[in-house]
Amino acid sequence: MEKAKKLAPGVLLCLAIAVPCWFLGKAFPIIGGPVFAILAGMVITLFYQEKGAAKAGITYTSKKILQYAVILLGFGLNLSEIARVGTTSLPIIVSTISTSLIVSFVLHRLMHMPGNISTLVGVGSSICGGSAIAATAPVIGADDEEIAQAISVIFLFNVIAALIFPTLGGILGLSNEGFGLFAGTAVNDTSSVTATAAAWDGMHPGANTLDAATIVKLTRTLAIIPITLALAFWRTAQAKKAGGSQKNEFSLKKVFPFFIVFFVLASVITTAATTAGASSAVFAPFKDLSKFFIIMAMAAIGLNTNLVQLVKTGGKPIFMGLCCWVSIAAVSLLMQQVMGIL
């Protein structure tokens, strides 16, 4: 009870920011609620720097509620449907994820960028934007400013993709199937994938690429599992290599993403239930709650972020995001050509 009282002011503040941002995200899906929340938090913190009693709850929201959001995300994944439809896109997904991670690693070395922000931009660009960043951040120990910077970069190129990809697909002569694969693999966040595919469907009546693009996107989301596990083991190996006090203080248990285990369990529950005849609509409230928790967490991250510092240090991450984004789009189209889809 004492802990709840301590956390309440900060959690309620994040909740108050999240509610209007949720509705703004519904009204402007091309931007999305999380981006509105992180921007609102950053603006508010310019005038509200000493958090006082709210500090503990804000930190709790940015860390724990973010992990609960990832767990609930699992209820939106029907593994049998992904296995049936998503396997066609698997070579493209693996290629685009690998490309983004390689590009971010190379640029990290060439531009001497911090490891955490490079990892978050690379993972966020290649897997599923904010959800991937939410899952990866606690594993690598990223702070709120690094998370905010990565989210901002991903958002920028999401908006550009949603605006230009439908026209670009028409210029390139993509088929409906081809554009569904392109949108699902080359656009980061789920809301932006939806907006991009819906724009294509509006330009091509009867195309119905929205369902295909969404399933491809959900298949990409599963890459959260191996990526976070690999990063956890990598951090453990790095700590052991460092030796000394760091070796004694560090353990796999501290960084192992146990919330990913619950994410997988949620996916298995959804799959088993729908296979047994339950409607997927049963799990819709969990998916909505996951999205709302992400918005709450982004509000908390915004409240812990120095907007002035973010602008000053944003050049290199934006350039990295641009390179990852262009590389992913190019590889997605190239793989379609190789597979004979184009």
SS3 content of the chain, % helix, strand, coil (to 5): 85, 0, 15
Q: Helix 315-338 vs helix 115-126: angle between axes, to the nearest 10 degrees?
A: 30
Q: Helix 284-303 vs helix 66-73: angle between axes, to the nearest 10 degrees?
A: 150
So what's the pLDDT on residue 254? 61
pLDDT single digits (tens) 214-241: 788 878 888 888 888 888 888 887 777 7
pLDDT single digits (tens) 168-183: 998 998 888 889 899 9
User: pTM of the prediction?
Assistant: 0.78
Q: Is 112 left (phi over 0), alpha (psi -120 to 50) or beta?
A: left
pLDDT single digits (tens) 259-285: 778 888 998 999 999 888 888 888 889
Per domain, the residue ranges of the chain are 78-286+308-338
